[in-house]
Amino acid sequence: MRAGGDRAKGRPGTRIRNGRQGEVGVKLYEKLAADIEALVKQGVLLPGERIPSVRQASQHHRMSITTVIRAYVLLESRGVIESRPQSGYFVRARAGEPAAELQPSRPSAKPSAVDVSALVLSTLRSIRSDDAVPLGSPYPEASLFPWQRINQYANNIARRYAKWTMLDDLPPGSPELIRQISRRYLENGYAVNPNELIVTIGATEAINLCLQAVAKPGDTIAVESPTYYAMLHAIERLGMRAIEVATDPVEGIDIGALARLIDEKGVAACMVMPNFQNPLGFQMPDEKKRALVAMLTGKDIPVIENDVCGELYYGEAHPSSLKAFDTAGIVLHCSSFSKTLTNAYRIGWALPGRYRGAVERLKFLNTLTTPAIPQLAIAEFLKNDGYDFHLRRVRKAYAQQASIMAATVRRFFPEGTTTSRPAGGYVLWVQLPEGIDAMEMYHAALEHRITVAPGHMFAPAATYRHCIRLNYSAEWSTGIETAVQTLGKIAQHLLAQGRAHPDSKNHG
């Protein structure tokens, strides 16, 4: 009798489990558990981050669902991960470990004028240099985009139609593109009225038109804190004032604080980004979206929803939007293809609810038309070229690169640095120790041919002078890792400098 001999005719010293071979004495679920635990110890998976679902892990590792469940149960028993009802499995914060979490913002509840455009323009110009590492870029890395295929469609359309009339470009836009966008919403679980949709020159124009439709110069507009600077640009351009609202880095805007500001300060409208907010990356829970729309409906306050990153989710299902909970037409929903297909064509749209007529009129008065050939080219791609397949590839890349970027920042930046936990999108918010000024870091990084986005750009006041935003959409490389390591050294130097001369800076 051969004790410990070959089993299932495999090689000596191996076992067969679910059609795969493993080390002697190590079962597949134990090996999976050990691999995940190693990623946690190495900082690739951070405390509070969600790990792949059971189904995702089963498909990725080619294991049975039962095997994955046993691995996750084992990791739970070791205190490495924890399950959260209806949310999945998350890396557990270890006892004695400082919580690697941002705290909710607590901005000043005072309306203020907005003046961030000069800083933003300067920052955008700095990323145009070919040899700079564009960690400060607001744009996703173009190499993942099917821009060549879309250009082919555009060239074919241009040759096919030698003559264009203005009617091809007039609002509300190309009927075929409107049809394809409406179908996309339906595929994602929400039926929109195609007659409500207006095609715009990117989401930026959609946001500007919607704000112009609901408020006038001098009005106060409530924004998340921090908020995407495109929102602030619209407020600045139209001569309005912004008031920052306390915002949780995981769940979004504080509805109670917003309600009080509306009552006390006379807010005319709100501007929010509930899905994968730039710069924090959070996804507002459905119940909170519903509560926000209900509260604003009760107070008859319109809300402009920026959903440009709504397709870039890391979870298993497309997130809901505020628009899905709107029964009174107060939500002016804005989006574009700039973050998912190509930012060269700048095709966006608005679903302005009861303000649809005003937005279409303003579109005609402001820019008259949206170029027809880009509209038709994108419509052709949506109809023929596997948009879902493309998006799955992009989401997978971004999710992996988010974890790597956060882990690298954690490794090389000074102690006390905290980061956001993006649930989608492609940007990471980094909060530095208070001795480091983001503008000083921005200028020092430029000397090393590295760009960052200083926190000063994301609020009307200098609320985030110790924060920066990093773009992780480019494929991870030695060059990017070296750039992040260099940023860490710059941060260490600025922190030491600040401690050596504590009275030389205003840390207010």
Can you give the pLDDT at residue 385? 87
Q: Mind listing the domains of the chain with CATH numbers? A: 27-91 (1.10.10.10), 146-386 (3.40.640.10)
Can you give the pLDDT at residue 126? 78
Instruction: Report CA-CA distances (Å) from 3 to 7, 13, 25.
Output: 10, 12, 14
Can you give the pLDDT at residue 389? 94
Instruction: Report CA-CA distances (Å) from 39 to 35, 73, 127, 395, 476.
Output: 6, 17, 33, 20, 17
Structure tokens of 281? Answer: 């990356």
Residue where the block lists tokens 């988010």: 402
Can you give the pLDDT at residue 127? 73
Q: Work out the number of other CB atoms within 10 angstroms of the CB of residue 427.
A: 28
Cα distance between residue 58 and residue 211, in whole Å: 46
How do strand 247-248 and strand 252-253 relate by DSSP bridges?
antiparallel
Q: Which amino acid is at 352?
A: P
pLDDT tens series, the chain, 508 aa: 333 433 333 333 333 333 344 444 578 999 999 999 988 887 788 777 789 989 989 988 889 999 999 999 889 888 899 887 666 888 886 654 444 578 888 888 889 899 888 888 888 887 766 678 999 999 999 899 998 999 999 999 888 876 555 456 899 999 999 999 999 999 999 999 999 999 999 999 999 999 999 999 999 999 999 999 999 999 999 999 999 999 999 999 999 999 999 999 999 999 999 999 999 999 999 999 999 999 999 999 999 999 999 999 998 899 999 999 999 999 999 999 999 999 889 999 999 999 999 999 999 999 999 999 999 999 999 999 889 999 999 998 999 899 889 988 988 999 999 999 999 999 999 999 998 999 999 999 999 999 999 999 999 988 899 999 999 999 988 899 999 999 999 999 999 987 666 654 443 3
Can you give the pLDDT at residue 500? 63
Can you give the pLDDT at residue 12? 35
Name the nearest CA neighbour of 415 among 37, 97, 112, 18: 97
Can you give the pLDDT at residue 120? 86
Can you give the pLDDT at residue 94? 60
- 29 Cβ contact partners less than 8 Å away, ≥ 6 residues apart: 63, 67, 68, 70, 71, 74
With contact defined as beta carbons under 8 Å apart, do 189 and 311 qualify?
no
Name the nearest CA neighbour of 173 among 369, 30, 385: 369
Q: Which amino acid is at 194?
A: P
Can you give the pLDDT at residue 106? 86
With contact defined as beta carbons under 8 Å apart, do 320 and 289 qualify?
yes
Cα distance between residue 324 and residue 327, in whole Å: 8
How do strand 220-224 and strand 267-272 relate by DSSP bridges?
parallel
Structure tokens of 35? Answer: 């691999």
